Amino acid sequence: MKFVLEVSVDEGALAQDPVGELGRVLRYWGGNLKHYALEAGDGSAVYDSAGAEVGRWRIVAS
């Protein structure tokens, strides 16, 4: 399986502070993974600190 994270860094809070916001996204969503079985098909939207959807993560079969 593969863990795939896609985040757009050219809009909203990520465009204003890409390093800080991307670090926050990785910390928050990394900590949130414990709520998932991490099986193929699992995934969720990813949000910036302003609550705007900026991407998704997903588990896919290799």
| Lookup: tokens for 45 | 């939207």
Mean pLDDT in residue range 2-10:
94
Q: Is the dihedral of CA 19, 50, 38, 57 positive or negative?
A: negative
- pLDDT of 12: 85
**What is the per-residue pLDDT for 11?**
84
Q: What residue spans define the domains of the chain?
A: 2-60
pLDDT above 90: percentage of residues in the chain: 79
Mean pLDDT of 5-19: 92
pLDDT in tens, 27-55: 998 888 899 999 999 999 999 999 999 99
Mean of the per-residue pLDDT values of the chain: 92
